[in-house]
């Protein structure tokens, strides 16, 4: 299927021994921008994006900047990747605040929100996107430490950030959570990860009901296979080489093919949508 993004059809074998992965070590490099101009849909807005240094988060930051938004980019410790993202944002004339932080800890989430408010004075859009995943062949291999870390990064952080952002969110504000196709299809070697993604779907639906009267919309995006640093950081070389080939389109998405969903959900184009999940997954039909 033809795309405006010239995505490579093959991915060579590769692996990284660190989570959540380093973008500059990937080959080919992911595609984050479609090089098309924005149309001012987010002019004057401020967006906070977790996991904004690379992957889907980087592309969302770039697409938001093209639409006129300034961005706060929260990330763990991938400093060079984060600097690249900030440079891309500034190329489109917008400002980027980099905040290295571990969002698994509630106090850090409170601090992140405060940093954003101190720097930009407001938050209009919160994108809960950061995640980790650790492959295990069976449930006996999932330690209590791994289970706790996966839940804390992937779903606890979303509760924490929404909780501490809530006093600053006003009528017209937007929250977008990144879930996954695994929330609907499961995954035999990512059981804890898929569980967190299922929790995010329920969290999104519940929070949307809680905040709808305040004029705050809450939606989610459930990508299928996407070529991001998390993939070579999770799977062995053979699985990386085959990654995404089982999708109907026959390849993984590039981040720039996922980011437009976030632009849509962040803008007035989706004013009649809340509590919903978008499914850019390469043609897989899921039970929503």
Number of alpha carbons in the 13 Å side-chain half-sphere of residue 246: 8
Question: Residue 1 above 50 pLDDT?
Answer: no
Query: Structural domain tally of the chain?
Result: 1
pLDDT of residue 261: 98
- Per DSSP, 121 falls in state S
Q: Which CATH number do you get for residue 259?
A: 3.40.50.720
How much is the pLDDT for 253?
Answer: 93
This prediction has a pTM of: 0.94
The pLDDT score that the predictor gives to residue 4 is 63
The pLDDT tens digits for 23-74 are: 888 988 999 999 899 999 999 999 999 999 999 999 999 999 999 999 999 9
How confident is the model over 242-286, as pLDDT tens digits?
A: 888 889 999 999 999 999 999 999 999 999 999 999 999 999 998
Cβ atoms < 10 Å from Cβ of 213: 8
Q: How far apart are CA 202 and CA 45, in angstroms?
A: 27
Q: Is residue 69 part of a domain?
A: yes
For helices 191-211 and 157-165, the axis angle rounded to 10 degrees is 20
* Residue 158 belongs to some domain of the structure: yes
Residue 17 lies in a domain: no
Q: What integer pLDDT is reported at residue 207 of this predicted model?
A: 98
Q: Tell me the mean pLDDT in the region 72-92.
A: 96
Residue closest to 69 by CA, chosen among 239, 266, 252: 266
The one catalytic residue among 75, 184, 193, 262: 193
User: For residue 234, is pLDDT > 90?
Assistant: no
Is 234 domain-assigned? yes
- Domain membership of residue 129 as a residue range: 23-278
Task: Encode pLDDT of 138-196 as tens digits.
Answer: 999 999 999 999 999 999 999 999 999 999 999 999 999 999 999 999 999 999 999 99
Report the SS3 class of residue 50: strand
In a domain, residue 7? The reply is: no
Mean of pLDDT values over 124-142: 97
Q: How confident is the model at residue 7 (pLDDT cuts 50, 70, 90)?
A: confident
Q: Using 50, 70 and 90 to split pLDDT, how confident is the model at 5?
A: low
Average pLDDT for the chain: 94
> What digits encode the pLDDT tens for the residues 194-205?
999 999 999 999
193 tagged catalytic: yes
284 lies in some domain: no
């Amino acid at each position: 299927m033809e795309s405006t993004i010239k995505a490579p059809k093959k991915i060579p074998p590769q692996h990284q021994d660190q989570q959540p992965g380093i973008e500059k070590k990937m080959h080919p490099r992911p595609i984050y921008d479609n090089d098309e101009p924005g149309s001012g849909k987010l002019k004057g807005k401020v967006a906070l994006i977790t996991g904004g240094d690379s992957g889907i988060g980087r592309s969302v930051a770039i697409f938001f900047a093209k639409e006129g938004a300034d961005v706060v980019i929260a990330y763990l410790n991938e400093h060079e990747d984060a600097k690249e993202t900030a440079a891309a944002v500034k190329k489109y004339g917008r400002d980027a605040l980099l905040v290295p932080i571990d969002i698994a800890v509630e106090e850090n989430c409170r601090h992140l929100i405060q940093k954003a408010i101190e720097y930009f004075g407001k938050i209009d859009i919160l994108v809960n996107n950061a995640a980790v995943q650790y492959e295990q062949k069976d449930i006996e291999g999932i330690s209590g430490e791994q289970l706790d870390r996966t839940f804390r990064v992937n779903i606890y952080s979303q509760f924490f950030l929404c909780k501490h952002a809530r006093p600053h969110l006003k009528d017209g504000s937007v929250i977008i959570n990144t879930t996954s196709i695994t929330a609907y299809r499961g995954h035999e070697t990512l059981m804890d990860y898929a569980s967190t993604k299922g929790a995010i779907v329920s969290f999104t639906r519940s929070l949307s009901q809680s905040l709808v009267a305040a004029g705050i919309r809450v939606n989610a995006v459930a990508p299928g296979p996407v070529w991001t640093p998390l993939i070579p950081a999770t799977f062995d070389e053979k699985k990386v080489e085959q990654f995404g080939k089982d999708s109907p389109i026959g390849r993984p998405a590039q981040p720039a093919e996922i980011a437009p969903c976030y632009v849509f959900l962040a803008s007035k184009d989706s004013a009649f949508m809340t509590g919903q999940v978008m499914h850019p997954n390469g043609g897989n039909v899921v039970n929503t």
